[in-house]
Amino acid sequence: MSPPTKRYRQIRFEAPPGSTELVLVRHGESEAADPEQPFPVVDGRGDPELSPLGRAQAALVADRLAVTRVDAIYVTSLRRTTETAAPLAARLGLVPEVESALSEIYLGEWDGGIYRQRVADGDPIAVQMVEEERWDVIPGAESNAAIAARVAPAITGIARRHAGQRVVCFAHGGSIGAVLAIATGSRPFAFTGSDNGAISSIVVVGPRWLLRSFNDTSHLEQHNPSVRSAT
């Protein structure tokens, strides 16, 4: 009697030994911009606090991630990331570390809340920005090259410090989009515009960055679809 034929199941992804999983969370929705009262500015960038909806999103992010392994938490210098991270940090007993290089895109003359108004009004420069996939068509804003030059070393540094660990980074739509564009070698704006409270992830294996997920909002939608923010 011949031995049974060996069968091979599909291979499931496993992070290589010594790699770092980075969970990238976009902050919760921040307070609405008021042209009459510009946001306070930190490091040249608008620094609004979370809205009530954003705080609800932060709680749901904590519900989602608190039951998984988390070895470290990072935030940026802007309070909307710190406030979004707070529920998870409290539940896990972790003190977030600050990585300011993952902060939001510097929008030059449109920072402090003006960007939202110009985009909503269909400003021709905003249209050009989307068509050309360049932030620096906005007067004084960062270029794609400048953004990549700060976020890439930040991700590499976090991965080096946390080899073999799982790290949650609370950041911004623009900076997360830049990280994922680098990871995939895609167009600059291919991953721009993730939802507030959405989760994306990459695995860093030495010089290789592997995209694992983008804009996961299941933790928001299954609770209440209204907890997802409007654009």
Domain assignment present for 128: no
Higher pLDDT, 228 or 200: 200
pLDDT value of residue 227: 55
Structural domain harbouring 27: 20-31+50-100+143-227
Q: Sort 119 into a burial class: Cβ within 10 Å, 0-12 / 13-18 / 19+.
A: middle
Domain assignment present for 13: no
pLDDT at residue 231 tops 50: no
Distance CA 227, CA 222 (A): 10
Mean pLDDT calculated for residue range 23-46? 93
Average pLDDT, the chain: 94
Mean pLDDT calculated for residue range 30-46? 91
pLDDT value of residue 230: 45
Domain assignment present for 81: yes
pLDDT digits (tens, 9 = 90+) for 118-140: 999 999 999 999 999 999 999 99
Q: How many domains does the chain have?
A: 1
Mean pLDDT calculated for residue range 41-67? 96
Domain assignment present for 110: no
- Give the DSSP letter string of 73-102: EEE-SSHHHHHHHHHHHHHHT-PPEE-GGG
Domain assignment present for 64: yes
Q: In the chain, which residue ranges form alpha helices assigned H by DSSP? A: 52-65, 79-92, 114-120, 124-132, 144-161, 173-184, 218-221
pLDDT value of residue 221: 86
Domain assignment present for 61: yes
Computed from CA positions of residues 21, 57, 154, 215, in that sequence, does the dihedral angle turn out positive or negative? positive
What CATH number does residue 195 fall under? 3.40.50.1240
Mean pLDDT calculated for residue range 20-39? 94
As a whole-number percent, the residues of the chain with pLDDT over 90 amount to 86
Domain assignment present for 11: no
Domain assignment present for 37: no
Which residues, including other chains, have CB under 8 Å from residue 97's CB and lie 6 or more apart? 72, 73, 74, 75
